[in-house]
Structure 1
Amino acid sequence: MTSYQKTLNFPAQPTQTAHLIRSDEEALSIAKTLSAKFKASAVERDQQRILPFQEIEEFSQSGLWGITVPKAYGGAEVSSWTVAQVIALFSGADGSIGQIPQNHFYAIEVIRNTGTEAQKKRLYQEVLQGSRFGNALAEFKSQNATQKNSYLTPHGDGYLLQGEKFYCTGSLFAHRIPTLVKDEQEHEFLAFVKKDAKGLTLIDDWSGFGQRVTGSGTVKLDQVYVDADDLIPFSDVFTSPTLVGPYAQLLHASIEVGIARAAFEDTLHYVRQARPWIEADVSSATEDPLTLYELGHVAVDVKASELLLKHAAQFIDQIKAHVDAENIAEASIHVARVRAHSTETALKASSKLIELAGSRGSQSHDGLDLYWRNTRVHTLHDAARWKYYFIGNYRLNQILPPRRGTL
């Protein structure tokens, strides 16, 4: 267990202004080029657990971390479908890198819904200049996910934060760490804690067998001071109809769809190179009927997940300007469908890669297990069985699903 502050010297603020992306087309073009570059060293990073500080710096400096900032505040405000494609591209290249900005975009969406005008102007400008947001939301010492033991107390012109968080994906790479806390009246806030704040400790203790370099360690807060202007109300994010929940889960689905697509493409590559291993009269693996059958199944599932993802993203954009309880529920169902399907598809595609690659599938230096390990760990984030339950209850009984970030 290593304290990040003591062992890693990473700037508390961006060292230069990020590139400003102007359009969806530019965002996708940059994402395709940069993700391909990152893929070349993904296996090495995973096997040696090399945290991608350089890659994340390049990722955010490219301007891609600012693409959801509204146009009224200087951003490109690209479509949700474009954001989903960007996340999928990077996730296919390296599942860890694909997941790291998820909470960053989540925080931007919270700001859009409950931040003041002054907070939007200031924090959006920071993002456009290259700032990255991490997260400190989840806790492991409470009885369930809804209970939080991290609190803030008034102190001078601001507040003091006390608590401990885990699974803080991206926190090691962040300039600010949005931290979920409660006040004495049990009202929830997202405190945008600066990385160099006194009393803040980031611990690199994430030890999952997949998604190994997401920086998902522990965050400890010992009387950490924050300005009042750095607190954004969080209670209304789910008590009122907002897109925060569906948007968060859309990005998680994008991670799995991206991994599934990349695993399938690699499967095609390895099958084309493989020697015949089953029937003596089959001249190559590309003619083996059982191999073709398995590939056909995966191809259908991957395409279905991609179409479900696109449909969900487009629905989110369709209702963005005018949300209500009914269309937010519908958005949650759209996203739950793709999330449930992409969970199964990514697991199948990554497993079939190992199976159909033949003996090469077991060789660690090829890293073909990386897709499966990343998928298996990421799909544990929110149980797919509950998504099917809420989908069924909505379709059969017209019961609206709960508004929360995990559906």
Structure 2
Amino acid sequence: MSIAKLQTNRGPTREELLARIPDFTAEIAKGAAQRDLDRELPFEAFRLFRELGLGTLRIPVALGGPGGSVTDYIEMIAAIGAADSNVAHALRSHFNYVENVILSEPRERDAGAVDLILAGKLFGGAHTEQGTARPGQVTTTIVRHGETYRLNGRKWYATGTAFADFASFSALDEEGRTVGILLPVEREGIKILDDWDGMGQRLTASGGVLLENVEVFPHEFATRGLDNLVGRHCSTLRQLHLAASAAGAVRNVLTDGLAYVRRQARSAAHSMAETANQDPFVQQVIGEIAANSFAIDTAVAAAAMALDQTVAAFGKGNEAGIEEALVASALATARTQLVLGQLGPRSAERMFELGGGSATSRNNNFDRHWRNIRTVLNHNPLLHKSRVVGDYLLNGTTTHLKEGRVF
């Protein structure tokens, strides 16, 4: 399938951009199961994503972008996830960066950030470190070196950075303060390691990054903090992005299940049906998976709408209204993750009830769906989430909902 080239005289409208998504997802769905088997990173998918300008979706019209909503963006991620959940997941850092840029005050934006996004540049990053006493602790350092600085350390969970043009990193400065830096990934001394060994989401490039005496210029320091209202919004957005990626994987379970029954599955020896598609138990499993996918999609869409309401509250500038919207969107996203946690893995496991031994063939690679969904769910502590939701409903407690962290 040929993909239309971008117009060069202007950026696409929201409607034009959304219309490009089906062709993109159809293209990257080709060979997705085999790529997972071969552990072939999807560089071509990201080249095409750039070419189509899909990374600009959230840039407002006032800043020269298409003006897509959070709902538009989250549905795009779910659609991409239905084709290849690795690609959907690996875009999370990019859209987190975009959201921070468009909601921050102009003076707090990284120099030229909007123009870079509109030019199709993709953004990754890595902030987590292994071996620290607690999550979030930073040992990477940045020290002055003449007129510039030098960055040294090792980061982990650099999801999507191998496919990106720029990446953000956190480090401790000489006064012990945590600072953010945005650098081109081609900068000398940045070494992206393809060493992610998770059982699922194997193609997200979520391994490590070595930072060895990397030169940093003064203008490459981030000018905004993330422990503010915008940071809290983006924390929730990042979590919903993951949920949308997994929601797409559940859609893929249904698509693969239907194709398998129609193409290959035989009715069981004791079945009264002539063909698998006429077997009432096969029909029951397909119906269950379809209902689970619908429930997950509905929850994801509702949470996206809550995040859009938060964006609207930012536009009004009323801090009390923003605070109320932040809590509501955090709750909606937590509930969505709990629904996904119950129905997602079950759907991927139930898929194997559609056939016999052939359903377990490595050529089909159906187990990738369970591995991918389970890996996404392991990013957030679901037991803690259910407790926080219950504590809020019973006692009105909002402590963890206001932390701006993954709870």
TM-score normalised by length of structure 2 = 0.88
Q: Following the alignment from structure 2 to structure 1, what is the Cα–Cα distance between the partners of residues 244 and 280?
A: 31
Residue in structure 1 matched with residue 317 of structure 2 by the alignment? none
1:148 and 2:145 are equivalent in the alignment: no
Residue in structure 2 matched with residue 31 of structure 1 by the alignment? 21
Conservation of the 8 A alpha-carbon contact between 1:361 and 1:369? no
For residue 152 of structure 1, report the CA deviation from its aligned partner. Answer: 2.4
Secondary structure in 2 matching 1:38: helix
Distance 1:379 1:236, change over 3 A: closer
- Give the counterpart of 2:267 among 276, 284, 293: 276
Conservation of the 8 A alpha-carbon contact between 1:20 and 1:128? no
Distance 1:388 1:184, change over 3 A: farther
For residue 35 of structure 1, report the CA deviation from its aligned partner. Answer: 0.9
1:306 and 2:304 are equivalent in the alignment: no
Conservation of the 8 A alpha-carbon contact between 2:148 and 2:216? yes
- Give the counterpart of 1:60 among 50, 53, 63: 50
Conservation of the 8 A alpha-carbon contact between 2:111 and 2:219? no
Conservation of the 8 A alpha-carbon contact between 1:211 and 1:373? yes
For residue 111 of structure 1, report the CA deviation from its aligned partner. Answer: 2.5
Q: Following the alignment from structure 1 to structure 2, what is the Cα–Cα distance between the partners of residues 240 and 210?
A: 31
Deviations 1:131-164 (A, max 9, x none): 1111111111211112121232334454332221
For residue 38 of structure 1, report the CA deviation from its aligned partner. Answer: 0.9
Of the structure 1 ranges 177-186 and 166-175, higher mean CA displacement relative to structure 2 is found in 177-186
For residue 172 of structure 1, report the CA deviation from its aligned partner. Answer: 1.2
Q: Following the alignment from structure 1 to structure 2, what is the Cα–Cα distance between the partners of residues 34 and 256?
A: 18
Q: 5+ unaligned residues in a row in structure 1: which ranges?
A: 1-15
Deviations 1:262-302 (A, max 9, x none): 21122123234422105342333334333333333322221
Conservation of the 8 A alpha-carbon contact between 2:233 and 2:326? yes
Conservation of the 8 A alpha-carbon contact between 1:202 and 1:220? yes
Distance 1:72 1:403, change over 3 A: farther
1:232 and 2:222 are equivalent in the alignment: yes
Distance 1:152 1:337, change over 3 A: same
Of the structure 1 ranges 360-369 and 269-278, higher mean CA displacement relative to structure 2 is found in 269-278
Residue in structure 2 matched with residue 178 of structure 1 by the alignment? 168
Letter in 2 for 1:334: A
Secondary structure in 2 matching 1:243: helix
For residue 49 of structure 1, report the CA deviation from its aligned partner. Answer: 1.5
Deviations 1:198-251 (A, max 9, x none): 222211111222212111121111232222222224544347774111111111
1:342 and 2:333 are equivalent in the alignment: no
Q: Tell me the number of residue pairs that the alignment of Structure 1 and Structure 2 aligns.
A: 392
Q: 1:383-402 residue pairs with structure 2 within 5 A?
A: 383-400=381-398, 401-402=401-402
Secondary structure in 1 matching 2:289: helix
Secondary structure in 1 matching 2:125: coil
Of the structure 1 ranges 105-114 and 76-85, higher mean CA displacement relative to structure 2 is found in 105-114
Of the structure 1 ranges 326-335 and 282-291, higher mean CA displacement relative to structure 2 is found in 282-291
Q: Following the alignment from structure 1 to structure 2, what is the Cα–Cα distance between the partners of residues 239 and 77?
A: 21
Residue in structure 2 matched with residue 50 of structure 1 by the alignment? 40
Distance 1:287 1:256, change over 3 A: same
- Give the counterpart of 1:354 among 329, 346, 352: 352
Q: 5+ unaligned residues in a row in structure 2: which ranges?
A: 1-5, 315-321
Residue in structure 1 matched with residue 312 of structure 2 by the alignment? 321
Secondary structure in 1 matching 2:212: strand
Letter in 1 for 2:299: L
- C-alpha root-mean-square deviation of aligned residues, in Å? 2.4
Residue identity over aligned pairs, in percent, reads 26
Q: Following the alignment from structure 1 to structure 2, what is the Cα–Cα distance between the partners of residues 307 and 106?
A: 22
Of the structure 1 ranges 292-301 and 262-271, higher mean CA displacement relative to structure 2 is found in 292-301
Q: 1:163-174 residue pairs with structure 2 within 5 A?
A: 163-174=153-164
Deviations 1:61-87 (A, max 9, x none): 210011112322211130111111111
Distance 1:127 1:154, change over 3 A: same
Q: Following the alignment from structure 2 to structure 1, what is the Cα–Cα distance between the partners of residues 132 and 374?
A: 25
Distance 1:112 1:28, change over 3 A: closer
1:297 and 2:295 are equivalent in the alignment: no
Residue in structure 2 matched with residue 124 of structure 1 by the alignment? 114
Distance 1:121 1:66, change over 3 A: farther
Conservation of the 8 A alpha-carbon contact between 1:34 and 1:59? yes
For residue 118 of structure 1, report the CA deviation from its aligned partner. Answer: 7.4
Q: Following the alignment from structure 1 to structure 2, what is the Cα–Cα distance between the partners of residues 121 and 77?
A: 21
Residue in structure 1 matched with residue 92 of structure 2 by the alignment? 102
Secondary structure in 2 matching 1:385: helix
Secondary structure in 2 matching 1:167: coil
TM-score normalised by length of structure 1 = 0.88
Residue in structure 2 matched with residue 4 of structure 1 by the alignment? none
Secondary structure in 2 matching 1:211: coil
Distance 1:336 1:184, change over 3 A: farther
Deviations 1:285-339 (A, max 9, x none): 3343333333333222211111111111111112213253222111111111112
Conservation of the 8 A alpha-carbon contact between 2:249 and 2:373? yes
Distance 1:152 1:121, change over 3 A: closer
Conservation of the 8 A alpha-carbon contact between 2:232 and 2:404? no
For residue 42 of structure 1, report the CA deviation from its aligned partner. Answer: 0.8
Of the structure 1 ranges 279-288 and 297-306, higher mean CA displacement relative to structure 2 is found in 279-288
Conservation of the 8 A alpha-carbon contact between 2:110 and 2:222? no
Residue in structure 2 matched with residue 12 of structure 1 by the alignment? none
Distance 1:57 1:207, change over 3 A: same
Q: Following the alignment from structure 2 to structure 1, what is the Cα–Cα distance between the partners of residues 125 and 231?
A: 22
